[in-house]
Structure formats: structure tokens, C-alpha cells
Amino acid sequence: MCGIVGVLGNHEAAPILVEALKRLEYRGYDSAGIATIDETNTLDRRRAVGKLVNLSDHLVHNPLAGKSGIGHTRWATHGAPTTDNAHPHRAGPVAVVHNGIIENFRELRTELAAEGFDFNTETDTETVALLAQSHLDKGASPKDAVEATLSRLDGAFALCFLFDGENDLMIAARKGSPLAIGHGDGEMFVGSDAIALAPMTDKVTYLEEGDWAVVTRAGAEIYDAEGRRANRPMKQVRMDANMAEKGGYKHFMAKEIAQQPTVVGEVLSAYVKNETITMDMGQVDFAKIDRLSIVACGTAYYAGLTAKYWFEHYARLPVDIDVASEFRYREAPFSPRTAALFVSQSGETADTLAALRYAQGKADHIVGLINAPESSIARESDVAIEIHAGVEVSVASTKAFTAQLTSFAVMALKAAHQRGHLDDTGLAQKLGELRQLPGLMSAALSIDDATRAVSAKLAEARDVLFLGRGQMFPLALEGALKLKEISYIHAEGYASGELKHGPIALVDQHTPIVVMAPHDGLFDKTVSNMQEVMARGGRVVLVSDARAMKDAGDGVWTSITMPEAPDLLQPILYAIPAQLIAYHTAIAKGTDVDQPRNLAKSVTVE
Ligand code: M6R
């Protein structure tokens, strides 16, 4: 999604803004721009379509001077990614950058057109700049003009304004999209997140829902949605400037895949001490609930779908699982004694957040499973469980997925124990299995070369199918999502047993079928499904352990051998081949691994 940065500094702003925008690149974007106020107090801007390098080139030939400025990476929503539609948008003396959607922009355009304003873009954002201008034209101060403008805006947004003639003023606002104010030494900053601000400052104030802030070099005056002065705490964020660096890896995705043994170790040390689980679920006692409703999007949804198998199998707790964009509108009734659980890496996904708000007051408990502790979902949950994955930069989620799964595994065991389906000895044994996870994940990373060879073959394919059975079915869906996201190869995941009910019609000698099948209790059934595929010329890529390879029989096209592991760990462990297959296939195809086309890291619009 769009990225916002603002600087009231003591040095030239343009290079600082471009550097900060680079740190926001991971969010996904298709154009970028900056505006500054120079030493004559004049506002000017530069914008360019495509990667940031295009904006940098433009700035080499057409520099922008000044120590105050705002910048933006745009992920197009209203209007194509063109220079005219790129931010900052300017109307007379005001420039504005915006993340989110102004839902009533058509109505505002009609009003502004009646006032005699012309439009130069197809964006919703231009109406914000024009509204502010119309108030300034009538003599309002910048602060009053912004306050009056904000009162007219519907939708979810983060905004940052800069004004011609004002080199010590930015006004920032948050409604639905996060925004952080950074405090420097005689300098002030605004950013979509603390990552953007990391090299400049680690002292950050997060605006709360409906807040807006008048920022000068002396500090920030924050107002709430009713216009009252608000006191928001300044926090010291743990933000290592290197977190957003690739650390010797070619891509963030490769770095994040490799970090997984450490990440799952972090999750376990946060939530497991010796033979007990220390995960604090607030008021949620699994013995006192009859149903769990899990809601999420994308990869987080597949983590939730895996958790359904675990909660139902180990804790005998029925689980409903929904895609957030469907859940939010289907008016789901909640039966008594239901906890609702929302999974989100970013904690800002618009559909998941809206689903959470729908559940408030209906479910007995609202639980967030999040990576960003300051996020909206974390704040609005009764209890927020952190997955401890650290900053995830690559658009394709990897370490957040395995951290979600590991957190869910611990939670499901806690539920099993609380509900009396696992005694102390059983719990200790399962926790012992979980402790093997970091080591097994390190071992699993050694399949890198084998995966590269498989991916060289997959890169030729137009369509790829992924199959899994039982708790491996969600992983088949995740493997397909990863592959299509970054290699742009059409891929679908199916439950192995479902293939013969339709999708088998797709099978021919051109369609590789990746079968995720450890040697578990369902393996023989999966072998039968593989035979059905191979009998029709299908090319099976078997991802399994050495024991299963022996029992699989002949005819497998190619294979990846995984370490053997206890059942509970299989979906977490097998995430690694799913991720590496996608990664190496994308490399073979030469696509943009970390910032795949059309995608954004955090989807803050509907
Ligand atoms: O931040 P969230 O976990 O809420 O994001 C949900 C999805 O947008 C996300 O998992 C998406 O599917 C990823 N690009 C998958 O790799």
C-alpha cells in the first residue's frame, strides 16, 4: 500500500525523503513523488511513475531544494499509475500525500466543481488538496483549513499536508491507516511506520484513530477526532536500522526464509517455559468456550485453516474459519461462548480489521494474532498475541506464516490442556516435540539445492497444482499462493481427495503436481491419489521424507526429501519447501521477488 514520509529537518530533505521511501518500498507501489519547501519558502514537487530510481533520476536533472518536505509511494486505487495521479497532490498553496481511500470523493468533487475548481487527476486524493485550498482561499489558517477538511472526509486514510510559505509546518492525520510521528533533535518526522523513520529516530508517537497532529520542529501538537488536545505517549521503538537491509541475501524473501529457525525459536521462548505454556490469553479460558471463529486474509488465512485442524484434533474445539472479506459482510451470527480470533501479520489489513469490528460486542472475546504490536488489530483486540517474527519486508509472507503456525500450535496445545484432552505428561511430550522445531527447520533449509532443480522444471509450466491431505491441505493452498504471487505461474491448491471431483481434468503431461505428503497416517491415501494423477500422464513432484519416498513407488517425476518429524510439526516444516519452490521458480523466471507486480505488503483498502 502507499507509503508516507514527512521531514522538518536541518539538512536537505530530498535525499532523506527518497531514502525513507526506499525503506517503504516493501509495501508495494507503482509511482512515487516528493514535495519540498525551499529557502525562499516556495513549495515545489517532483513525481515519477515506476520504481524509485525513476524519481531519483528525475531529481538529478530537476533537483528540489529545501529542508522541509513530504514524500509518497503510491499503490494505485483511483486512476492508473501515471505521473499526474502520483502524489504529492497539489492545489494552490497546499500539497498532500495520502494512504487509503476517500469514500465520498465523488460527492466532494461535485461540490468543488460547483465552487469552480478544476481537476487534473483521476484520484480521490485531489479532492483533499482542493478542499484544503478552498478553506485557505477563504482565509483559514493551515490548521483550521485541515481541521475543516478532515471533518468532510469519509473512508480510511492517513494524510500529511505541506503548505507553501510554511517551512516549519506539516499537518498529519490518521483515520484507519497508521501514521507515526518521529521525534529528532530539533527535527521532526512523519512516517507510515517506524521502519521508514529508523535511521532518523527511534522515538515515535503513534497517532490513534481519528487523531491529527500539527508538527513543527519544536514538536507535535496532537488533537483527537473531536478537536481536543490529546496526549499520546512517545515510545522508544526497537528498530534496528539494519532490519530493513538484506543482510547479504539477494532478496528479503531469501533472508526471511533463512530466519525461520530463529523466529520459531523466538516464539517458543516467548510462550513455552520448561513443561508449561506461558502464553497469556487474557480472559480466554478454552474450557469455557464452545467455539472458535478464526478470520484472516491470504497467508494468514491459511495459518488459521491449519490451526482449525489442530484445535479440532487436539482440543476437540470446533472452529469456524473465514476469509475476512467475506466474513465482514455475511452477517455471521455468533453462538454463545464463542471467541473470535483475527490473524494478521501487519495488523492493518482493512478487511480483517473490519471483520474484527463486526465481531466486537457479539463474540465473547476478541483475540488478535499479530506481528505488529502497535497495529490497529492489536489495539482493538481484547488480547493481542504477538507472533515475534520481527519485521517482514518481502511482500510474500514467509517467516510470519511459520511464526503464526508455531503460535497457533502452542495455543492449540494450551486449549487441549485446558479442555482436559491432554494431561500434564501429554502436554510435556508435545512441547518436547515443538522444541525440535528450530533444529528441524535448519535441517529442512538444506533442501535449497534440490528445490532449485525442481524449480528449474516448474518455471516452464503454465499451470501447477499443489495437493495436500488433512493438516497438509492448507499448505497446498499456501504453496500455490506463494508460487502465483511471485512467479506469476497459475497455481491452485487442492485437498488430495478432491482432485477426482473435477480438477483432475486439468492433468496432462504439461501440468506438474506438487504433492506435500509426509509419511503420516494419511500417506497411503495420498499415494493412491498420486497414482491416479500419474496414470493420466501427470508429473508428480513429491515432497516427503525418506521413509515415504521408499513407499511411494515408481513413476514420480521428481522429489524433495524432507527430514522426518512429529505430526504436529509437519505443516510448519513443509512451509519451507513451499516457499523455496516459489522463490527459486521466481528467480528462474526473472520476476521481481520482493515486490511482485500489483501486490502490496499491507492491504489497507477493501
Ligand atoms: O498483514 P496480513 O497478515 O493481514 O496480510 C494478509 C494477506 O494480505 C497476506 O498474507 C498476503 O496474502 C501475502 N502477500 C501472502 O504472501
Query: What does the pLDDT read at residue 600?
Result: 81
DSSP secondary-structure letter at 508? S
Query: What does the pLDDT read at residue 245?
Result: 77
Take atom 8 of ligand 1 and give the residue whose Cα is closest: 298
Q: Which of 456, 476, 437, 449 is nearest to 563 (CA)?
A: 437
Atom of ligand 1 nearest to the CA of 602: 1
Provide the 10 A C-beta neighbour count for residue 170.
Answer: 26
* Helical packing angle, 575-589 and 399-418, nearest 10°: 170
Per the omega criterion (within 30 degrees of 0), is the bond before 88 cis?
Answer: yes
Ligand 1 centroid–CA 323 distance in Å is: 11
Return d(Cα 487, Cα 454) in angstroms, integer.
14
Return d(Cα 455, Cα 580) in angstroms, integer.
9
Q: Which residues of the chain have pLDDT under 50?
A: none
Parallel/antiparallel/unpaired status of strands 155-163 and 170-175: antiparallel
Ligand 1 pocket, CB under 6 A: 297-300, 344-346, 349, 352, 395-397, 485, 599, 602-603
Mutate to test the pocket of ligand 1, among 294, 295, 297, 380 (most ligand atoms within 8 A of CB): 297
pTM of the model: 0.83
Mutate to test the pocket of ligand 1, among 177, 193, 299, 482 (most ligand atoms within 8 A of CB): 299
Ligand 1 centroid–CA 299 distance in Å is: 5
Query: What does the pLDDT read at residue 178?
Result: 85
Atom of ligand 1 nearest to the CA of 397: 16
Ligand 1 centroid–CA 301 distance in Å is: 8
Return d(Cα 369, Cα 288) in angstroms, integer.
20
Q: Where are the beta strands (DSSP E) in 274-386?
A: 276-277, 291-296, 319-323, 338-344, 365-370, 383-386
> Has 255 been annotated as catalytic?
no
- Strand-pairing partners, residue 163, are 94
Take atom 7 of ligand 1 and give the residue whose Cα is closest: 298
Cell numbers standing for residue 426 = 501429554
Mutate to test the pocket of ligand 1, among 603, 604, 606 (most ligand atoms within 8 A of CB): 603
Query: What does the pLDDT read at residue 239?
Result: 65
At 302, is the secondary structure helix, strand, or coil? helix
Task: Judge whether 112 and 130 are in contact, CB under 8 Å.
Answer: yes
Query: What does the pLDDT read at residue 605?
Result: 76
Say which residue the cell 483432475 belongs to: 504
Query: What does the pLDDT read at residue 29?
Result: 87
- Tell me how far CA of residue 75 lies from CA of 1, 68, 297, 335, in angstroms: 5, 24, 19, 39
Catalytic position from the list 67, 175, 399, 601 = 601
Ligand 1 centroid–CA 366 distance in Å is: 20
Query: What does the pLDDT read at residue 595?
Result: 86
> Has 430 been annotated as catalytic?
no
Parallel/antiparallel/unpaired status of strands 89-91 and 94-102: antiparallel
Query: What does the pLDDT read at residue 194?
Result: 82
The whole-chain average pLDDT of the chain stands at 93
- Strand-pairing partners, residue 294, are 321, 341
Return d(Cα 191, Cα 312) in angstroms, integer.
42
Return d(Cα 126, Cα 174) in angstroms, integer.
17
Query: What does the pLDDT read at residue 244?
Result: 65
Query: What does the pLDDT read at residue 196?
Result: 86
- Strand-pairing partners, residue 539, are 512
Query: What does the pLDDT read at residue 240?
Result: 62
User: Phi-psi category of 218—alpha, beta or left, where left has phi over 0 and alpha has psi -120 to 50?
Assistant: alpha
What's the half-sphere exposure (Cβ side, CA atoms, 13 Å) at 299?
29
Take atom 16 of ligand 1 and give the residue whose Cα is closest: 396
Atom of ligand 1 nearest to the CA of 603: 8
